[in-house]
Homo-oligomer: A and B are copies of this chain.
C-alpha cells in the first residue's frame, strides 16, 4: 500500500466514523458516545462479518477452503474495522515470533551500525523484525541481553560477542534451542554459523605492504584480546611478521580496547619510546584515529616520522590528513550474510557454516605511498 493510498484510506475512515449512525452529533449520553475505541480484535471482525472467529482467522490467513463470499465479507469487515492482528497473541499461539535478536558490543560504532543495517535489510525481506540490544562492551550485559531476547522467544539470534565463554553461552541456550549465528566477535565452535572478516589475510596485506616500504620495526595497536577479531589479528600479526624475519618486541604491541581514546593513549606510549617503531598497524579505524591524534599532539608526522596503516577503512578515510592506508571490506555484507545464514538456519537445520568476508588493501598516503615514490 502506498502512502497516497493510506492517506485516502485514512480520510475514508474518518468519513465513515462521522456518518456512522451510532455517533449522532446530538447523542450526548455516555452510552451513545463513540466507545473508547479499543483496538479491534479478530472477534470483532468475525462478528461484523457474521462468521466465527475460526473462519475469520482462516479467511485472513488464506488457509483452507473458504467460500469466496465469506472470505470477501471477512476481508471487508477487517478493513472497515482497521483490524491489525495482535502479534503477541499470534506468537503465543504459534510459538513463532518472526523476530530475531541482534546483540553487539556497541551500536554506535560505524562498523556495527553498518552490520545492523545489512542484517536488517536481509531479515526484513525474509519477514523478520529485529530486536536490538547493545551490550556496551560488557560480557555480563551481553549475557543479560541474550536472556532477555530468549524470554521474548526470538526465532533467532545474531551476535557479535565481546568474549562470552562458550559454555556459559550454551548453558543459557540449552533449554531453548534457538538458531544463532555469530559475526565478527565469534565464539569458537558455538552457534549454527559464524561470519568473520578475513583477519589473517588483512594483517598479511598490511604487514607485507609495510615491509615493501622498508620497515623493519612495526608496532601494533591490537585491540581487545577478549574478542575473537582482536585476538585473530594479533596472532596474524605475529605470524606475518615472522614470515619476514621480524620479531616484534613486546613493548611494541599494545593490547588495549577499541575506543579512539585507547588508540590515543597506546599511540602516545609507542611514540614516547627512545627509539620508536617506524610504522604501526592499528587493528581498527578508531585506534588509527587515536594514533593520529597522539601523533599530531606530539608533533610526529605521518608517514614521515612514523607510517600508519589500519585494519578497517572508514568512509572518510581519504579525507583524513594524511589519507589512511587501510584494509577495506564491506561491513554491510557481514551483517547481510550473517542474516542469510540465520534465515536458512531458522527454516531448516543445515550444517554449521563458517564464512569469511574478503578484504582488500587500499593504498593511500599514511603508509608512505605517494609521499616518497619509493614503494
Contact = CB atoms under 8 A, between A and B. Distances in A.
A359 B88 CA distance: 42
Interface string A94-119: 00010100100011111001101100
Interface stretch (A142-150, A199-207, A236-244, A340-348): A142-150
Interface in A1-15: 1-3, 6-7, 9-10, 13-14
A107 B117 contact: yes
Interface stretch (A171-179, A248-256, A265-273): A171-179
Contacts of A172: 6, 10
A317 B375 CA distance: 30
A371 interface: no
A193 to B, nearest CB: 22
A79 interface: no
A40 B175 CA distance: 8
Contact of A6 (B99, B143, B319): B143
A165 interface: yes
A306 interface: no
A33 interface: no
A88 B91 contact: yes
A9 B172 CA distance: 10
A9 B147 CA distance: 15
Given A39-B176, A92-B92, 11 more contacts: A2-B140, A3-B140, A85-B151, A88-B88, A107-B116, A107-B117, A108-B114, A108-B116, A131-B131, A289-B315, A316-B316
9 contacts: A6-B171, A9-B171, A10-B168, A37-B175, A39-B176, A88-B88, A120-B134, A132-B132, A320-B321
